[in-house]
Chains A and B, each alone.
Chain A
Amino acid sequence: MREFKILEIKQGVFDDNNKQADGLREDLKKRGTFLLNLMSSPGSGKTTTLVKTIRALKETVKIGVMEADIDSDVDAVTIGQEDVKVIQLHTGGMCHLDAEMTRQGLHGLGMDDLDLVILENVGNLVCPAEFDTGSSKNAMILSVPEGDDKPLKYPLMFSIVDVLLINKIDVLPYFDFDVDACIERAKKCNPNIKVILCSARNGEGIEEFADWIKTEVATWKKEQ
């Protein structure tokens, strides 16, 4: 029989990624570039919300966008029409982006002159919640047709985001979506969560989101 040995590793599975994420956050702080990680399920209106938010911000803030998807470049093409710096990242089948992939993306994008980089993460409410990308702040979109029970089903996601956008509120009359119940459930996961009701379609609430970003970017730079 061959001799074998047991080597103890005793390391949390996410430790490596967390370390890389902290390192990236530090680098971004030194540069004064704010990274916003935007997450949601597919079809919640991330790209449309992003387009409207960019329009509200681009006069005052220099913006770059990273579009992460498993495949295709449709989102990058859409965002590219807004005259901001954009890069499409392919995760190669992976359902999320980790800190190393985010760093590579930022390198590819080039962020020397940018105040704000928005990362549109892969549409998914599970994995992106577990992998810290190194972002300064996290935001998520939940759209009305998805249902007000989502904080109950994906508590981790709701617990790690700083802002929750409840999108597509223009269709509230047609859905059994209880806004108050949804907010209460989200706050149970995360008492500090900021909730913004919006409709990317008619522009409602976008200004509030843009103002929040402006304030956060300014704070990030001040702490530099």
Chain B
Amino acid sequence: MHEIGVLFEIVKTVESFAKENQVEEIETLILQIGELSSMVPHYMETLYEGAVEGSVLEGSSLQIEIIKANARCRDCGKVFPLVENKGICTNCGGEHVELLSGKEFYIKEIVCY
């Protein structure tokens, strides 16, 4: 249950943000999770309600945006989606790639009143 500790960390961050910005009620929390991040969105969703209980996020809904893992081939320069191609360049078949995105884990924004 790796996700629950991380959710508590998110609650802390949002609480201090809400305090600074005089937000009293939050409708939706939007997270961005990279495809290669170690977070499992499904677990985050399942645990969310319990994790935010008693905080400013209580009663809010969670929305998760997945960020694709894209890579650039070091041999030919082609940019391609990493996961479905198993790390192999779709242009030249090379395996030397530079990761461009996919490890992100951000609190993007909140929808609030």
Contacts and interface: CB of A to CB of B under 8 A. Distances in A.
B5 A16 contact: no
Interface string A1-40: 0111111111111111100000000000000000000000
Contacts of B104: 12
Contacts of B16: 16
A5 to B, nearest CB: 6
Given A4-B27, A16-B12, A126-B38, A10 B109 contact: yes
Contacts of B107: 9-13
Contact of A12 (B1, B23, B105): B105
B108 A8 contact: yes
Contacts, number: 74
Interface residues of A, number: 25
B111 A4 contact: yes
Interface in A85-133: 94-96, 98, 126-127, 130-131
A7 B107 CA distance: 11
Interface in B28-58: 31, 38
Nearest to B110: A7
B112 interface: yes
B2 to A, nearest CB: 5
**Majority secondary structure, A binding face:** mixed
Interface in A56-101: 94-96, 98
Given A96-B5, A126-B38, A130-B6, A5 B105 contact: no
Contact of B109 (A7, A98, A127, A156): A7
A35 B44 CA distance: 32
A9 B113 contact: no
A10 to B, nearest CB: 6
B13 A6 contact: no
Given A5-B111, A7-B112, 20 more contacts: A4-B112, A5-B113, A8-B108, A9-B17, A9-B107, A9-B110, A10-B107, A12-B106, A13-B6, A13-B9, A13-B105, A15-B13, A95-B2, A95-B4, A96-B5, A126-B2, A126-B38, A127-B2, A127-B6, A156-B38
